[in-house]
Amino acid sequence: MSQNNCESKIRYETEIEARKNRGWLESENKQKYSVYGCSSCSGWHLASIR
C-alpha cells in the first residue's frame, strides 16, 4: 500500500466548496492553488502552485 498525505490536507465535500475557499486563500496567501478531485478520499483538495 502506498502512503499518501491526503489526511494532512483540508478536505472539501464538493468542487464548488473547494473553489470558493481557493478564492480567499489565493488573496490571503498571494499564491495560486489548483483544485483537484482526490481518489483516496473521494473529496476535493487544494494544491499550491509555484
Binding site for Zn ion (CB under 5 A): 6, 38, 40-41
In the complex, the smallest distance separating the C-beta of residue 5 from Zn ion, rounded to whole angstroms, is: 9
Q: Which of residues 5 and 30 has its CB atom nearest to Zn ion in the complex?
A: 5
In the complex, the smallest distance separating the C-beta of residue 50 from Zn ion, rounded to whole angstroms, is: 21
Query: Which pairing describes strands 32-37 and 44-49: parallel, antiparallel, or unpaired?
Result: antiparallel
In the complex, the smallest distance separating the C-beta of residue 49 from Zn ion, rounded to whole angstroms, is: 18
